[in-house]
Each structure stands twice: as structure tokens, then as C-alpha cells.
């Protein structure tokens, strides 16, 4: 299986059962020592800004505020768009890329379009946990985006990054009119 497919599966599990996903975050919280999270697979420490407090915030949100949502439908166009963003961010993490410019290569979107980025190494589950936890970002809007009823389609690209070791780009929208592929549903 690919990282991208596994990541979409994880996101859809989050959408189906936010409270159950909180249990995964709770389990990962045990690997903190002060503000360093020790990856149990690689034994490499990740210094965080907030430590376990950000995990507690995510757990509380998923258990008390989050509502289940329909699963995302994978979109070939959104996977390609995510891949284009990834290629640019692999060159320059501060790249200023216009969403419309990239999206127009494949079609156009209606309603909302969101792009989320997660830098750093990790498997699909840990990458999603890091996105939901949003250590150091007290607004924590990513979790609301991932659980939004307004967004229906998803694309993901994952690759290496010279500075952060890994990069994951998630593209989401209400509706995408794909002009490149007649059948836009992604199959894995």
C-alpha cells in the first residue's frame, strides 16, 4: 500500500469516528518526555513547542466537539494538484503558490478549496496525528478542515524534504470539475 492511500484511509477513519481517533492520539501521548516526543518506531526524538498539552487539546476536541462526517472521495485531479504543490515545496518550503494557478491545469473547483501541509517524517497515522494536534498553532484550524461537512474530495502527495525529512500535502475541496480525466475518482 502507498502512503497516500493509507493516509486517506486514516482521514476517513477520523471522519467516521473522531472519538475513536482520539484514542490513537492518547496512545501516542505516552511517548513524551517533557516536550520531546520519542518516535517508538525510529527512536528519534521530535522537539515540540507545547508538549503533551497540544495532544490533550486535540483529544478533548475530538471527544467533545467533533462530529462524524461522511468519508472523503479521493480525486485524481486533487492528487495531481497535491503532487504539484509538493514538488514546489520540496524546492522551497516558503514558496508562494497560487491555488488557482495549479488547479487550473486540471480543471476548476466549486465551493471551498483547502490545502494543508505537514512537514516532518512519519507514517500516515502519525502524520495525521501531527496535523490534528497542530503543535505551536493555537488556532488549530486543520482539524476543523479535516472534519468539515463542506469538503467532499481529497488528494494527497507525500515525499522527502531536505530540511524536514518528509512532507505531506493534502488538498480538499467541495467539488472539482476535472477537465483532464473523465473519471475523476481515484482508485488505489
**3-class secondary-structure state, position 44:** coil
Query: Is 65 contained in some domain?
Result: yes
Query: Is 184 contained in some domain?
Result: no
Backbone angles phi, psi at 158, to 5 degrees: -135, 140
Write down the mean pLDDT value for the chain: 90
Query: Is 80 contained in some domain?
Result: yes
Q: Is the separation of the CB atoms in 77 and 180 below 8 Å?
A: yes
Query: Is 91 contained in some domain?
Result: yes
Query: Is 119 contained in some domain?
Result: yes
Q: How many domains are contained in the chain?
A: 1
CA distances in angstroms from 29 to 52, 59, 67, 83, 142, listed in the order given: 6, 10, 22, 31, 19
Q: Cell 498539552: give the residue.
A: 53
CATH no. for residue 101? 3.40.33.10
Task: Please give the model's pTM, rounded to 2 decimal places.
Answer: 0.91
Given pLDDT bands bounded at 50, 70 and 90, which one contains residue 44?
confident
Q: Which residue range is the domain that position 90 belongs to?
A: 3-178
pLDDT digits (tens, 9 = 90+) for 150-174: 999 999 999 977 766 788 999 999 9
pLDDT digits (tens, 9 = 90+) for 45-81: 888 999 999 999 999 999 999 999 999 999 999 999 9
Amino acid at each position: 500500500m502507498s502512503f497516500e492511500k493509507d493516509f486517506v484511509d486514516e482521514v476517513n477513519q477520523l471522519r467516521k469516528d473522531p472519538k475513536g481517533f482520539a484514542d490513537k492520539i492518547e496512545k501516542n501521548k505516552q511517548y513524551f518526555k517533557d516536550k520531546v516526543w520519542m518516535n517508538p518506531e525510529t527512536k528519534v526524538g521530535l522537539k515540540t513547542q507545547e508538549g503533551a498539552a497540544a495532544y490533550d487539546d486535540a483529544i478533548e476536541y475530538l471527544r467533545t466537539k467533533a462530529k462524524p462526517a461522511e468519508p472523503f472521495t479521493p480525486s485524481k485531479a486533487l492528487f495531481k494538484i497535491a503532487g504539484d504543490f509538493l514538488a514546489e515545496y520540496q524546492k522551497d518550503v516558503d514558496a508562494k503558490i497560487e491555488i488557482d494557478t495549479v488547479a487550473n491545469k486540471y480543471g476548476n473547483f466549486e465551493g471551498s478549496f483547502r490545502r494543508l501541509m505537514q512537514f516532518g517524517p512519519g507514517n500516515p497515522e502519525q502524520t495525521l496525528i501531527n496535523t490534528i494536534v497542530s503543535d505551536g498553532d493555537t488556532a488549530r484550524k486543520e482539524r476543523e478542515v479535516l472534519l468539515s461537512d463542506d469538503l467532499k474530495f481529497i488528494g494527497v502527495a507525500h515525499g522527502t524534504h531536505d530540511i524536514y525529512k518528509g512532507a505531506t500535502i493534502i488538498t480538499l475541496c467541495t467539488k472539482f470539475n476535472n477537465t483532464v480525466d473523465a473519471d475523476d475518482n481515484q482508485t488505489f
